[in-house]
Chain A
Amino acid sequence: MATYAEMQEIYDDIRSDFRYDHELNGCLNCGICTATCPSAQFYDYSPREIVQLLWTGNVEQIYDAMQEKIWACAQCMTCAARCPFKNSPGGLVMIMREVAIKHGMQSAKDVLRPFGRVMLKLITTGNQLSPDMIQPDHFPDWGPNIQKVEGDLKTLRKAIPVKTLQTTDTAWEVSLKTSVEMYTIWEMTGVMDALETMDENLFDVIEDFIDEKRDDYEDWLEEQEDDD
């Protein structure tokens, strides 16, 4: 359990995000946001509550809401489209999630653990889900009709009449140069630091992958120079 001072620091971090004043303009407790919220139908979650907690600066309950509630939001932004005050509860939730990660909250680590495989794919390739991740044995609840033509994945992907899509381990073929540029973005914007805070093992795996890709890119550049 965090001390009051730590909870206050978390609240201050939320409030100091430059988007905060965009996303929170006032609240009459009308509840339109919660009435339209898909997550409110299935979880102990209410966008109205999130807005009210922030609006009234209740640091202890804000901290409490950051344990589980903020992770229920589906990020559809229906709340933002409907709010008469032009608040964005979904946007506020994103700020709170970022702050939860910055502070290495255990709840964030727990919630994100099953997401690790996707994170690995995203950070190393810039793609979210690849065809080889969407196989019937990974998603038994999607049923037996998940693919209407039997066949080897490679061949089926080759039968897509667009060159960039004939891949199995990325959604489309991403050039090495593009990936290397993306790694620079991750590093310069603190994304790698956030990842290290959340999951050190995953961070190590990704770091190794990035080093390897950078070496490949250097080799490729040298080859180009030699060709010239």
Chain B
Amino acid sequence: MADQTPGNHNMHGEGAGAGTMKPGFHNTDGQGVAGHGSFFQQTNLSAEEATQATEWVRKHVDRRTVDLGERMDDIREHMWELEKDGQIIVHRITDDHEPVDVQTLFGWNKRVPTKQLWHHKSCGQCGNIPGYPTSLMWFMNKFGFVPGKDYLDETDQTSCTAWNYHGSGIGNVESLAAVFLRNFHQAYVSGQKHGHEAGHFFPLVHCGTSFGNYKEIRKYLVESSELREKVTKILGKLGRLVDGKLVIPEEVIHYSEWVHVMRNRIASELQTVDVSNVRVTMHAACHYYKMVHEDAIYDPTVLGGNRTAVGSSMAQALGAQLIDYSTWYDCCGFGFRHIISEREFTRSFTMDRKIKVAKQEANADVMLGIDTGCITTMDKNQWIGKSHEQDFSVPIMADVQFAALACGADPFKIVQLQWHASPCEELVEKMGISWTEAKNNFETYLKEVEAGNIEYLYNPELALGGKA
């Protein structure tokens, strides 16, 4: 049986043979393809022969294998040339990082490291949705990762500063590039303090905007010798060159890509809660797949390969019902400046194009996101809808938080749902976890916290440069 799902039309070539008619082949009389005139003759090919004969067509129309010629440049190739010329050092992903290969939009290969990761935190997540990074680190511990060896979280990191840049226009390519190179240099050398070689830890970027911004900046750095020259002076002054050279990473990796490549291990080794009754809608962050779009992960087994796979793939692997909705591609309405100083735009857009649609069309139990701004926007702007007779609400959280819940993580201590404004308690209850009991336990734990008895995911000294 040919797969007739949207975006996967008749991929086995059935219907090309005599007298067959399948969806996607608009013949009206059951006698071959319509519209070819009286000279049309049936080929009488078997399904296998037809598949073989039309192989080249599929190869060329499938955008994931399309030959782009000179229309799309793979910046990574130029990066290797610059390194060969002795101009930069490429922070490599080695076998020690236990990488998993995935395909991006045009079928290019991307290596996603799964171990020895430097947590590049997100200002929006840490400030507002702390369950995001804690769930991620919780998973790493669950897989037996050793803090200080298999991952590192430390205080020597600034934000990418791109939220401010996109919001205000204060900043410029040079400042963004200097911040990018400073943070990634720190990731490169961070292992040395803990007895490892340079390059031991590879940066794992938590924020979607940091991810998009860094890739855009990397492209400019590779293309512009003038920009490289300018920032080399700055990085030199900061003492952040290696042998007088800039350090640029082989890949820029988003945390959701780590979740994507680990999803089957998460589901098979760690899942304890059945989520087959949970209706999931997905909102992929614009800056994940619309900035430097050739680098976003697409997978033919996820949504027909027509939409970026991250987030959705995690929900699928857990066995949840992944439900489509008509405004999937829309932005959340965050707007960078808008969420702070033009909130009427942000809340109107997110309610009208995301929350209302997810509820009315998909009857969603949860909307998953993979980024800071989207989750904040959709989570915080539901209540106000009531004043405009738009009384819709959907729990909002990150893919990794949902996955952590499905793997038995504490909704408060680890998933930190107490910071969310949307009705996450409804989802937790639907998953068979008692919200009240978890909340009571957490309130008891808060007394322990006040007494100084705090539970940590890793030895806190590690964050300050101490030993694990």
A interface residues, Cβ below 8 angstroms from B: 18-19, 36, 38-39, 41-43, 71, 74-78, 80-81, 94, 97-98, 100-101, 108, 111-112, 114-115, 118-119, 122, 126-131, 133-134, 139, 141-149, 151, 155-165, 170-175, 177-179, 181-182, 184-186, 188-191, 194-195, 198
Contacts and interface: CB of A to CB of B under 8 A. Distances in A.
B412 interface: yes
B31 interface: no
B170 A191 contact: yes
23 contacts: A75-B167, A81-B286, A101-B169, A115-B167, A128-B123, A128-B124, A141-B383, A141-B384, A143-B384, A144-B383, A145-B421, A146-B380, A147-B418, A159-B445, A161-B456, A163-B456, A163-B460, A171-B123, A172-B155, A174-B158, A181-B182, A190-B172, A195-B170
Given A127-B159, A143-B382, A98 B347 contact: no
Nearest to A179: B158
Q: Is the interface of B mostly helix, strand, loop or mixed?
A: helix
Contact of B383 (A142, A155, A190): A142
Contact of A119 (B130, B170, B226, B345): B170
Max count, chain A CB within 10 A of own CB: residue among B130, B178, B382, B463? B130
Which 5 pairs across A and B sit closest by C-beta, in order of nearness?
A143-B383, A97-B169, A171-B127, A126-B158, A163-B460
A42 B348 contact: yes
A151 B450 CA distance: 11
Given A18-B173, A142-B380, A164-B153, 10 more contacts: A74-B334, A74-B345, A81-B289, A122-B163, A147-B421, A159-B454, A171-B126, A178-B155, A190-B174, A194-B170
Contacts of A133: 127
B290 A78 contact: yes
Given A134-B127, A142-B421, A181 B238 contact: yes
Nearest to B379: A142
B343 A141 contact: yes
Given A19-B220, A112-B168, A118-B164, A77 B287 contact: yes
Interface string B412-456: 111011111101110000000000000100110110011000111
A129 B128 contact: yes
B174 A42 contact: no
Contact of A162 (B153, B170, B334, B446): B153
B359 interface: no
B360 interface: no
B134 A161 contact: yes
B95 to A, nearest CB: 29
B463 A173 contact: yes
Interface residues of B, number: 102
Given A75-B336, A128-B123, A175-B155, A115 B331 contact: no
B349 A42 contact: yes
Contacts of B424: 148
A145 B417 CA distance: 12
A219 B341 CA distance: 38
Contacts of A98: 169, 172
A78 to B, nearest CB: 6
Contacts of B420: 148
Contacts of B174: 189-190
Contacts of B224: 18
B381 interface: yes
B167 A118 contact: yes
Contacts of A122: 159, 161, 163-164
A198 B416 CA distance: 38
Interface in B162-220: 163-175, 178-179, 182, 212, 220
B329 A36 contact: yes
